[in-house]
Amino acid sequence: MHSVWTRANTVLTLFGTVAAVLCLLTTGTDLLHKPDPKVKLGLRDVRRLVQHNGGREHAAVTFDLDADLRSVFTWNTKQLFVYVQAEYETSENRVNQIVMWDSIVQQQDKAHVRLNNHKTKYAFIDPGRNLRGRSLNLTLVWCVMPRVGRMYSQQSTHYVGKLPASYVH
């Protein structure tokens, strides 16, 4: 009745149950958190807009970003995965999303991101010839990665006007 195995079994089961409940409560606290991010995002310059072999268009752009994401952190936040993406519609595709830049923010006091005339990390390429004169939205998205539990993301979209109507070399 009170063998080592029975005791070990009981202790481990209790440990598992308590740990599971604590994890659920921890991730539950994220639902009560009200973040207050302040984001300014804009397109600064279109340095190149060219066509490549195979009919793809490629734009080299720079952007400005001022994002205060410090209030997004909770005690259960391990890191923020922050990225800027270009969004536009074409006649063939109703949704085009292209991530141009991303960054990992692991500490709350480093969560105020300021980028000036910043070059993109990843190429802004459309599979077709759809970029000239295209209306563009730039969106800042932050993915909250928890220490335990539910992962979620929030975003802030800004309309930045149209890309140039003709190629820029």
Instruction: Report d(CA 166, CA 156) in Å as an integer.
Output: 29
Q: Quick one: tokens of 165?
A: 């109507």
Measured from the CB atom, is 97 or 116 closer to other proteins? 97
Residue 166 is a binding residue for other proteins (CB under 8 A): no
Measured from the CB atom, is 37 or 81 closer to other proteins? 81
Secondary structure (3-state) at 72:
helix
- Asked whether the beta carbons of 140 and 111 are under 8 A apart, the reply is no
**Binding marks (x or -) toward other proteins, 36..65, rule CB under 8 A?**
------------------------------
Residue 151 is a binding residue for other proteins (CB under 8 A): yes
Give, in order, the Cα–Cα distances in Å from 46 to each of 26, 66, 97: 45, 19, 18
Instruction: Report d(CA 150, CA 128) in Å as an integer.
Output: 37
Residue 96 is a binding residue for other proteins (CB under 8 A): yes
Measured from the CB atom, is 4 or 169 closer to other proteins? 4
Residue 146 is a binding residue for other proteins (CB under 8 A): yes
φ and ψ of 70, to 5 deg? -65, -35
Binding residues (CB under 8 A) for other proteins: these are 5, 23, 27, 78-79, 81, 83, 85, 91-99, 102, 104, 106, 122, 127, 141, 143, 145-151, 153
